[in-house]
Amino acid sequence: MNGYCMFNQLAIAARYAQQQHGVMRVLIVDWDVHHGQGTQFIFEDDPSVLYFSIHRYENGEFWPHLVESDSAAAGKERGERYNINVPWNKMGMSDGDYITAFLHLLLPVSYEVTV
């Protein structure tokens, strides 16, 4: 088991949408202080789910101190490049920092994988 929840409701909802409603691709955007390593682990080899996480990292010093929280963790096998981590290495990121990440990273990649 990876992550800190017994049941990952986000993963359950994504799979439900795919299996019950024919949703082909799912975009998960996680922008809280902690990395969602459980969600990343579930979908890391799945090209039908793009997982995008912005989280505090501080060069690996911020809890939970995981290498898979780094930007180099980009998915595995068929899911490679469908996992994007934006690890903030300093505290106090502003709205402008988030808007920049969304406009220059998230939007271009999300359009690219839907084409």
Per-residue pLDDT tens for 69-111? Answer: 888 888 889 888 899 999 999 888 999 999 999 999 999 998 8
Helix, strand, or coil (residue 30) = strand
Q: pLDDT at position 100, please?
A: 96
Q: What does the pLDDT look like over 28-78, one tens digit per residue?
A: 999 988 898 999 999 999 999 999 999 999 888 888 778 888 888 888 898
105: tokens are 């990273």
d(CA 38, CA 92): 25
User: Where do the domains of the chain lie?
Assistant: 28-114
Cβ-based neighbour number of residue 23 at 10 Å: 13
What is the model's pTM? 0.88
